[in-house]
Structure 1
């Protein structure tokens, strides 16, 4: 039963992803996911990559649509944080623990810099928290834009090329290509999060 549902779903995605307007879907979901992390936008970029691997899309356009949508979305998240920073700061000032967390977020962003923005881009939900926090803690806008441009390009290239390579390898099996690419993406994201957790644990142990 579940296998039939999955097969029907991926067949539909195969049909949709072959249309030119699927690039608009990739762009829109990447933008919205930066602000409202409900459905991981990696999924649509991977599907677009699979379609490109099977000759139904341009991999360059798939990567561009994902990167540009994510870039605009991350900047929108920063703007939201910047616009409401007064409200957040007043809310944090009412309780010492809140103020400590807010101050800590600002220090971490300044200390770890752009690499933190790149790493967070691979963590659904985490990237939204960080981009909004960048606005709340008044990080320089130009600095933010430059690093986010790099982060979203790396992220979209990673997801799109995974789908593209698996799409070429399994040209006659869209379902297998998608699920293998998706599982690989999840594994890499999990590995990044595990390495980050181990490093933080080591720092706490040293302290």
Structure 2
């Protein structure tokens, strides 16, 4: 069964339109975080380490372009659908917490938050939509988001590639390693965010 999955993955990664698939999934994943576009980029990087196709740099470019387009769609949804977006964001504790965190930190350090939030699936969507809601400068958004998606896609591709170099005979294991490291990075960022929020709360600083 594992051999069959590997063969299917090799065939998928060898398709000429794999770059369009990655671009499309990255677009949708930016405002509907249900499709694991990062995992697909990591898998592509793992196969790129031992095969001629796909090309690592084209994978990274496709992922970054798709994420940039998707983030701008999310920003537009927030900007032109402010009322419904705010009401939707305040439904459910987790969703409300992400929205309030994003709004509070955007007002203090918008560009930095945009870059860091790209690594947090729920925080990513909350941040880009909230930036639209608060009318954060779209020109600045375009610049900072280009930095964010480039770093995000490059990190995913390189993680997969390094895993592929380590486990050259098992690209699926290399993919799993890359995804594990990426999840670990998300955990660390979230842990640091919670610790800082806790300290601010104890010191009397509002955390949103």
TM over 0.5: yes
Corresponding position of 2:30: 34
**Contact 2:99 2:127 survives alignment (8 Å):** no
**Contact 2:28 2:35 survives alignment (8 Å):** no
* Matched ranges for 1:92-103 at <5 A: none
Change (3 A) 1:105 1:165: closer
User: Structure 1 residues 21-30 or 64-73, which shifts more?
Assistant: 21-30
Gaps of 5+ in 2: 89-97
Among 35, 44, 55, which residue is 1:58 paired with?
55
Q: What TM-score do you get using the length of structure 1 for normalisation?
A: 0.86
Does residue 138 of the first structure (1) align with residue 135 of the second (2)?
yes
* Matched ranges for 1:66-105 at <5 A: 66-87=63-84, 105=102
2:135 is paired with a residue whose SS is coil
Change (3 A) 1:117 1:102: closer
Report the number of matched residues. Answer: 194
Corresponding position of 2:159: 162
**Contact 1:23 1:48 survives alignment (8 Å):** no
1:57 and 1:18 mapped to 2: Cα distance?
Answer: 6
Does residue 186 of the first structure (1) align with residue 183 of the second (2)?
yes
Gaps of 5+ in 1: 93-100
1:149 and 1:183 mapped to 2: Cα distance?
Answer: 25
1:123 and 1:104 mapped to 2: Cα distance?
Answer: 12
Change (3 A) 1:137 1:28: same
Corresponding position of 1:97: none
**Contact 2:43 2:172 survives alignment (8 Å):** no
2:121 is paired with a residue whose SS is coil
Shift of residue 66 of structure 1?
Answer: 0.3
2:108 and 2:140 mapped to 1: Cα distance?
Answer: 13
Structure 1 runs of 4+ off > 3 angstroms?
Answer: 6-11, 86-89, 101-107
Shift of residue 189 of structure 1?
Answer: 1.2
2:34 and 2:101 mapped to 1: Cα distance?
Answer: 26
Shift of residue 50 of structure 1?
Answer: 1.0
Shift of residue 11 of structure 1?
Answer: 3.8
